[in-house]
Amino acid sequence: MTKFVEIFLVLALICVGCTAVCGAVSAEEMRTFVDDVGREITLPAAVDAVSPSGPLAQIVLYSLDPDLFVSIASEFSDLQKKYIDPRLLTLPVTGQFYGSKASTMNPESIMAMDKELNIDVVLDIGEAKETMKPDLDDISRKTNVTFAFITQNTLDDIPGSYLKLGALLSREEQGQRLSNYTSSLLAEFDAGMTKIGDNKKSLIYVTAIDGNSVSMVGQGSYHAEVIDYVGNNVVPPTVASGGSGDGYTMEDILQMNPDFIIVSSTTDHAYYKKIMSDPMWQSLPAVKNGNVYEAPNGPYNWMGGPPSVHRLLSLIWLGNLMYPDVFDYSIDSRVKEFYSLFFHYELTDADLNELMIYAKPNVFPVPPTTQAPVPIIGVLAGVAAAVAFAGRRL
């Protein structure tokens, strides 16, 4: 064997060894994960670039770690921007893959963005549908970008979903923290509602008012889960699938005669003010007793819209509002704790007062009293008497 051949063999062995080592390192840097529709996906050991596939994923991903975002599903409203990390406001919009609206996420845009963003995974969250597995397999194949699905549909799904998200996105500590919090909260409410038993207060949730037409969320709706759980929802079973519910008349509401009226918020509190000032509404005992409350909104409506983890805020709020003897805690402290954990935002007292302006007992404005106009004859008679009295004094 010549010297040249010996050198060549040594170099070849070195190359083979390097390849084996590099391959081992590469394999160690990747891992597999089985998502909630049974898809085995390959991910980096440490995930740090995530795109949400819709509004639910955007909300939940934010609660886990805002730093993970490399794109957003939809732009934030002016109201939401107050609570959101400013970095996210500069990110590209990837669009929505599932939802009631037509999909705005397409393979071409994902591939184009991935060249710049190096997306580790596109996260989808919600209710598992029959077509979801083939749909996600299809777009993953077309884009060569990993998609993953985690179930978070009902309140009971929330604790487990955070554990899975922590494992999926290599944020185990925060996932465990949020899982522990939500599990403890739901256990607290299960125990409290068991004490209340059949003595639930009746209520309605008004989402819109247009003259004599009133939209309300009916029993059994996905959007009524908290209402049905914490109270006796006297609105008939839902027909519409949307978050606004079904339409009713004032005559229907007078028949329902709820103990509490919860109303969706608007920027000018129009629905709340309508209920508090309209003579027809004022004939209801709930209005007379001051049991009308506007759901806080910021960064999302506490009652839903979209219905995600922030619905737990409505549970905390309504429990204390309707059953203060059972759910006896400082609502201010509990709300501040939630915002810190899930929105990474430290609420000030001023923030809280603004959020809950019509959400606490005994804060609704008392209608101003109006004095009856004094007759002009009476005014003139009074002036004449004053002049005569002054004359006598002189």
Per-residue confidence (pLDDT) for residue 15, from 0 to 100: 45
Judge contact between 76 and 89, C-beta under 8 A.
yes
Per-residue confidence (pLDDT) for residue 38, from 0 to 100: 97
Per-residue confidence (pLDDT) for residue 107, from 0 to 100: 83
Q: Which superfamily is assigned to 201-355 in CATH?
A: Nitrogenase molybdenum iron protein domain (3.40.50.1980)
Task: For residues 130-156, give the mean pLDDT.
Answer: 94
Please give the structure tokens belonging to residue 354: 């603004």
Per-residue confidence (pLDDT) for residue 352, from 0 to 100: 97
Per-residue confidence (pLDDT) for residue 95, from 0 to 100: 85
pLDDT(67) > 60? yes
At CA 39, angle to CA 106 and CA 64, rounded to 5? Answer: 75
Peptide bond into 299 cis (omega under 30): yes
Scored b (16 or more CB within 10 A) or e, 103-126 reads: eebeeebbeebbeebebbbbbbbb
Per-residue confidence (pLDDT) for residue 105, from 0 to 100: 78
Per-residue confidence (pLDDT) for residue 241, from 0 to 100: 73
Give 325-358 pLDDT, tens digit per residue: 999 999 999 999 999 999 999 999 999 999 999 9
Q: Locate tokens 């106009």: which residue?
A: 373
Give 7-45 pLDDT, tens digit per residue: 444 344 444 444 443 443 344 589 999 999 999 999 999
Higher pLDDT, 309 or 1: 309
Give 313-329 pLDDT, tens digit per residue: 999 999 999 999 999 99
Q: Which of 284, 285, 290 is nearest to 250 (CA)?
A: 284
Per-residue confidence (pLDDT) for residue 306, from 0 to 100: 87
Whole-prediction pTM: 0.84
Higher pLDDT, 113 or 193: 193
Give 228-274 pLDDT, tens digit per residue: 999 999 999 988 777 889 999 999 999 999 999 999 999 899 999 99
Give 92-104 pLDDT, tens digit per residue: 998 888 754 556 7
pLDDT(375) > 90? no
pLDDT(376) > 80? no
pLDDT(281) > 80? yes
Mean confidence (pLDDT) of the chain: 86
CATH number of 29-185, picked from 2.70.160.11, 3.40.50.1980, 3.30.830.10, 1.10.10.10: 3.40.50.1980
Per-residue confidence (pLDDT) for residue 364, from 0 to 100: 56
Please say whether the dihedral angle defined by the alpha carbons of residues 181, 182, 185 and 187, taken in this order, is positive or negative. negative
Per-residue confidence (pLDDT) for residue 291, from 0 to 100: 97
- Print the SS3 string covering the chain: CCHHHHHHHHHHHHHHHHHHHHHHHHHHHEEEEECCCCCEEEEECCCCCEEECCHHHHHHHHHHCHHHECCECCCCCHHHHCCCCHHHHHCCECCCCCCCCCCCCCHHHHHHHHHHHCCCEEEEEECCCCCHHHHHHHHHHHHCCCEEEEECCCHHHHHHHHHHHHHHCCCHHHHHHHHHHHHHHHHHHHHHHHHHCCCCCEEEEEEEEECCEEEECCCCCHHHHHHHHHCEECCCCCCCCCCCCEEEEHHHHHHHCCCEEEECCCCCCHHHHHHHHCHHHHCCHHHHCCCEEECCECCCECCCCCCCCCHHHHHHHHHHHHCCCCCCCCHHHHHHHHHHHHCCCCCCHHHHHHHCCCCCCCCCCCCCCCCCCCCHHHHHHHHHHHHHHHHHHC
Give the lowest-confidence range in 81-90, 105-114, 146-155, 260-269: 105-114
pLDDT tier, 203 (very low <50, low <70, confident <90, very high otherwise) = very high
**CATH 3.40.50.1980 domain extents, the chain:** 29-185, 201-355
Instruction: Calculate what percentage of the chain has a pLDDT beyond 70.
Output: 84
Per-residue confidence (pLDDT) for residue 97, from 0 to 100: 81
Per-residue confidence (pLDDT) for residue 103, from 0 to 100: 65
pLDDT(113) > 90? no
